[in-house]
Structure 1
Amino acid sequence: MSLPDPNVLHPWPEQPRVALLKPLVESPLIEAGEFSYYDDPDDPTAFESRNVLYHYGPEKLVIGKFCAFGTGVRFIMNGANHRMDGPSTFPFPMMGGTWGERFDLLTDLPVRGDTVIGNDVWLGYEAMVMPGVRIGNGAIVAARSVVTSDVPDYGIVGGNPAELIRRRFDDHDVDRLLAIAWWDWPLEHITAHLTEIMSGSVDELAGAAPVS
């Protein structure tokens, strides 16, 4: 059995447009699970600088396992926020000079916490995720959607702002899928049961789960 390597940057060598995020990211503010990838025909290795914007911390971007990110996906982080409680939203202290002495005016900006992407999430072409959003396991975000609020497990959302279109499974099956958590199976077991994972029913997937 030949197993894929989650630490290889380009798992599909003839298509260097695909890059795994775990061996790519260097920022301590970004966590990426195994086999999550970004697809970009220009340069997927620029993900940290071109696709994760205004990321000054301390909030993190946490990405689960087996996520698929289409070209142009953007994560807008909390550093993009401006004050809105006064007459002007302009960040004067960033311009330097005497203004730079008043960085206290840029403190206490609204903070929504970490941005968290679950496991097995598909973000479509040019989807945008706003600060502090949590996208559940198995969710799908349609192309060019702007996600401003949390997405439930196995939800499909689309639009600007993104709204729930439907759930991929009913509540009972979603609970079962979360309990099965196939993304946490040993790699050998995943490899042996790709059919159940990719095209099987929930019953078939449950039947393939490792015996604890």
Structure 2
Amino acid sequence: MPLLDASSVFPITYPDGSLSKATMYLKNVIDHPRIEVDDYSYFTHYGKLEETAEILAPYLGRGCREKLVIGKFVQIARGSYFITSSANHPMGGITTYPFRIFKPETFGYKDLPVKDTVVEHDVWIGHDAVIMPGVRIGAGAIVAASSVVTRDVPPYAVVGGNPASIIRMRYPVEIISEILDLAWWDWPIDKIEANLSALESGDLAALKRA
């Protein structure tokens, strides 16, 4: 029996047999036209299950123009959330008050630019992190707890702070390129689990032989 079941809602069972109902696979919980989530990506929160999309992206209404796209095996800790483009206020005039959001026919400030927010595969977003509009977080990146991510994050970077900046890179550039080419997250789940030791230890040679 595999460790992971992509069809689960609550994927974590504690050693005593009890089920964690605070951590959920987003793909199996969220039904939102502007949110796309791939397999095995989870989020932890204490709200109601049906409130998950609103907790994760509180300003992303169903009629908004931008999207939130989350890849595979993304890990989002409790308290983290995404501020998407439709949360922006007009800043080119005297007032920033968003008058036009109060009527459906003017909602969304069609003249303001929007950009999708993208989280690539195997990203770890720590507790209470905030991801700002239009950011792309590269595969394998780590976002430290309580960070505010205001700009794109390269693959396999560790970022932290407000605004978040690169603390270090997890691997040299040439190794990152090899890992991205490997794209282990696209393997069948049985192949992934058969190679867990190599994945967890960073044995790239063994993974390339798999």
State TM-score, norm by structure 1: 0.89
Answer yes or no: is the 8 Å Cα contact 1:142–1:159 preserved in 2: yes
Q: Against the structure 1 CA distance between its residues 26 and 51, is the aligned structure 2 distance closer, same or farther, given a 3 Å change threshold?
A: same
* Per-residue Cα deviation, 1:79-108 (whole angstroms, up to 9, x for no partner): 111111111111223456xxx98x389331
1:54 to 56, 59, 82: 59
Q: Against the structure 1 CA distance between its residues 50 and 105, is the aligned structure 2 distance closer, same or farther, given a 3 Å change threshold?
A: closer
Query: Are 1:27 and 2:29 an aligned pair?
Result: no
Distance 1:199 1:44 in 2: 36
Structure 1 residue 207: deviation in Å? 2.4
1:6 maps to amino acid: A
Q: Against the structure 1 CA distance between its residues 61 and 152, is the aligned structure 2 distance closer, same or farther, given a 3 Å change threshold?
A: same
Answer yes or no: is the 8 Å Cα contact 1:77–1:130 preserved in 2: yes
Query: Are 1:92 and 2:99 an aligned pair?
Result: yes
* SS of corresponding position for 1:138: coil
State the partner residue of 1:36. 41
Distance 2:109 2:185 in 1: 41
Distance 1:117 1:128 in 2: 13
Answer yes or no: is the 8 Å Cα contact 1:18–1:37 preserved in 2: yes
* Per-residue Cα deviation, 1:67-88 (whole angstroms, up to 9, x for no partner): 1100011100111111111111
Unmatched 5+ stretches in structure 2: 14-18
* SS of corresponding position for 1:22: helix
Structure 1 residue 58: deviation in Å? 1.6
Matches within 5 A, 1:169-180: 169-180=171-182
Structure 1 residue 3: deviation in Å? 5.4
Matches within 5 A, 1:44-193: 45=49, 46-56=51-61, 57-95=64-102, 103=106, 106-111=109-114, 113-193=115-195
Residue-pair matches, total: 202
Distance 1:105 1:176 in 2: 41
* Per-residue Cα deviation, 1:120-166 (whole angstroms, up to 9, x for no partner): 00000010001110000000000010000000000000000000111
* SS of corresponding position for 2:28: coil
State the partner residue of 1:8. 8
2:99 maps to amino acid: F
Unmatched 5+ stretches in structure 1: none
Question: Considering only aligned residues, what root-mean-square deviation do their CA atoms show, in Å?
Answer: 1.9
Distance 1:182 1:54 in 2: 33
Distance 1:204 1:66 in 2: 21
1:110 maps to amino acid: P
Distance 1:120 1:30 in 2: 18
Distance 2:116 2:66 in 1: 5
Rg comparison, structure with higher value:
1
* SS of corresponding position for 1:157: strand
2:32 maps to amino acid: S
